[in-house]
Amino acid sequence: MPPLLEARNIRKVYHGGGQLFGGEVSETVACNDFSLSIDADNPTFTTIAGESGSGKTTIARMLLGVLDPSGGEVLYQGQDVRDLKKDGQQRFRQDVQAIFQDPFEVYNPFYKIDHILTTPIYKFGLAASKTEAYEKIQEALRTVGLRPEETLGRYPHQLSGGQRQRITIARALLLKPKLIIADEPVSMVDASLRATILAGLHTLYKDFGISFIYITHDLTTAYQVSENIIILFHGAVAEAGSTEKVIKDPQHPYTRELIQSIPVPVPGSGWIEEDIEEKEVEDLDAEVHTSGCPYALRCPAAMDKCQEPPPFFRTEGERAVSCFLYEESPVLQGNDLHEVFRERDR
């Protein structure tokens, strides 16, 4: 049985820049050789983490089949998503759901909330009657912690951001998906509601066995919800594995820098005082053009070898690091990050 969704060495290169005023055409590698498979029978909760420009949304869009990869392929049950026929397409759209960042943008302000919930039922023929449809809707709303009587019949502007985001989750749930790809689902929501929404996602994974790909720049929420994490840097995976291990004991020099940079909510822990190296500070978030390790320019441990792209070294059972510092560890065969991931405890 092929996996539910599989990315095989996907790549995305954006061309652009400069043409209007006659400058050079630039190439941005938003995603370089990314492989991951999601198995429907063994649910996983995986974070794809990275800073702006690291390519995390590009990966999400390719996995959702809304963006064509420049190389490699995305397979749904073994079939390239670009070649899916009508019914395959329909099943793909039902099994793999998306939750987007902005709960304000996904609604048509002229339709009541009911519309966004009845549409999928109608389109996918999920209910035989109107009564059954409403029962399903009410059940989905309750699952995400909303009271149907306070939600249905209202317009989007009458609801808060947190409520709207939970309705998008309820809508995804209606379709009984096997995988939900959530792109920064809580970054527009206030801290007080963030926990409620993340708890909702976590329940869907734990109790309903839905796999998640959680895309974020926020490692603290990633640590809270996910079992596995992929750290991206400039389109390439720096480190991947169990969230516990990667965050508590980062091995890739970039992951280390990233985690040290997070301001922890403990006053006086030295984050602001500690002098960080003042080298070329202004070039930190500049574009990187290299065929080797994209972090090498900034890396305190860079070697000559880093001019070549490092493979994944499997430093332990649940971790792969793309860095030559670990070249004594075995190379991860086939590049599929799923190999080092942990599945839901049974």
Partner 1 sequence: MSVNGGNKETLLDIRGMEVHFETRRGIARAVNEVDLTLYKGERFGLVGESGSGKTTLILALLRMIKTPGFIAAGSATLDDGTDLLKLNREEIRRVRLKRVAMVPQGAMNSLNPVMRIGDQLMLTIREHAEDGEIPDKHTQLKQVEELFYRVGLKPAVARLYPHELSGGMKQRACIAQAISLNPQLILADEPTSALDVVVQRQIMQTLRKLQNELDATVLLVGHDMGLMAQFAERVGIMYGGKLVEVGPVEDIFHNPQHPYTQLLISSIPNFEIKGEFRGIPGVGLSLLDPPTGCLFHPRCPKAIDRCKSVEPQLKEVAADQLVSCLLHEEDQHAPAS
- Interface with partner 1 (CB under 8 A): 51-52, 160, 162-163, 190-196, 198-199, 202, 217, 220-221, 223-225, 244, 247-248, 257-258, 261-269, 271-273, 275-276, 278, 281-286
CB of 85 to partner 1, least distance (A): 40
Q: Are 184 and 136 in contact (CB under 8 A)?
A: no
- Name the 3-class secondary structure at 202: helix
Query: Would you tell me how many other CB atoms lie within 10 Å of the CB of residue 210?
Result: 22
Q: What is the DSSP string of 121-160?
A: HHHTT--SSHHHHHHHHHHHHHHTT--HHHHTT--GGGS-
Q: In whole angstroms, how far apart are CA 11 and each of 7, 8, 68, 80, 320?
A: 10, 9, 9, 15, 19
Residues 6+ apart with CB under 8 A from 186: 165, 193, 194, 197, 198, 216, 218, 221
Q: Are 212 and 31 in contact (CB under 8 A)?
A: no
CB of 341 to partner 1, least distance (A): 16
Q: Which is nearer to partner 1, 49 or 96 (CB)?
A: 49
Token pair listed for 204: 């869907």
Q: Which is nearer to partner 1, 123 or 248 (CB)?
A: 248
CB of 220 to partner 1, least distance (A): 4
Q: Which is nearer to partner 1, 77 or 203 (CB)?
A: 203
Token pair listed for 316: 């332990």
Q: Which is nearer to partner 1, 273 or 304 (CB)?
A: 273
Token pair listed for 199: 């708890």
CB of 268 to partner 1, least distance (A): 7
Q: Which is nearer to partner 1, 286 or 303 (CB)?
A: 286
Q: Which is nearer to partner 1, 52 or 131 (CB)?
A: 52
CB of 9 to partner 1, least distance (A): 27
CB of 190 to partner 1, least distance (A): 4
Pairing status of strand 236-242 against strand 71-76: unpaired
